[in-house]
Amino acid sequence: MIKNTPSWSPVEEEPPLSVQSASVKLLGWLKKNYPNYDGVKINKIALNYYECSGYQDKWYYLFEYSFIENGNELFGIANWVAALMDGSIVDVSTLGNSN
């Protein structure tokens, strides 16, 4: 998945995908995949370098989020999703897959 995303160098230009665009895509993806919740709260956003010798200059946003149900924030573990620089949203366990 990540191998087909745009390469990026933080000292040369702004990222191919803005934080705002990545956040909007994330919220849409979560709403589609988890429709039973009232909402989502983004708790943390990190811009990470994909450290693998086979890939050069690959970056992604890592989001930590909580679901909202009946006005209450539901805390849990493993509420992490990645936004790749091509705008795709993926489970973090699938980042290196070639599919």
Note the pLDDT of residue 99. Answer: 45
Task: Please check whether residue 98 lies inside any domain of the structure.
Answer: no
| Tokens encoding 87 | 């705008």
Q: pLDDT of 29-69, one tens digit each?
A: 999 998 999 999 999 999 999 988 778 899 999 999 999 99
Give the range of the structural domain holding residue 69, as residue numbers without chain letter. 2-93
Task: Please check whether residue 76 lies inside any domain of the structure.
Answer: yes
**Can you tell me the distance from the alpha carbon of 75 to that of 3, in angstroms, rounded to the nearest whole number?**
32
State the average pLDDT for the chain.
Answer: 89
Kindly tell me if the per-residue pLDDT of 3 is higher than 90.
no
Look at strands 89-91 and 72-74 and give their pairing: unpaired
Domains contained in the chain, number:
1
Note the pLDDT of residue 62. Answer: 96
Look at strands 59-69 and 80-84 and give their pairing: antiparallel
